A = this chain, B = another copy of it.
Amino acid sequence: MSDALDRLIATIKSRAAAPDPSSYTSALLQAGPPRIAKKLGEEAVETIIAALGDDKAALAGETADLIYHLLVLLEARGVSFDEVRAILDQRHGTSGLVEKAARPHDPTSAP
């Protein structure tokens, strides 16, 4: 529980268990997955734009917003971040190229 992400996940779970009318997290969870996914998309776009600029603090800030909305989305859909951690360990314990080569073929990719 000493990690910032674990603290944030605990906060999000407490908002899900006991909605607080003054909490943005509670409002997002109440609005549901499509609305949270929309916010995630907006933060991803802002992260991309920040990554192409020169302001490193802006990139760190947008990344934080992206991760926050991602964690709220996982809570809304009942997916544990521990599952995500397990997948990261599984996929990136070996070379990423090896992992990517093992992915199923996308039939709509360029032939």
Q: Please report A residues at the B interface, Cβ cutoff 8 Å.
A: 3-5, 7-8, 11, 20, 22-25, 27-28, 31, 33-42, 44-49, 51-53, 56-57, 59-61, 63-64, 66-68, 70, 73-74, 76-80, 83-89, 91-92, 95-101, 103, 107-111
Cα distance A105–B80 in the bound complex, in angstroms: 32
- Residues of chain B contacted by A109 (CB below 8 angstroms): 109
Interface of A is mostly: helix
Inter-chain contact A4/B86, CB cutoff 8 Å? yes
Of B48, B103, B108, which is within 8 A of A45 by CB? B48
- Residues of chain B contacted by A39 (CB below 8 angstroms): 108
- Residues of chain B contacted by A68 (CB below 8 angstroms): 88, 91-92, 96
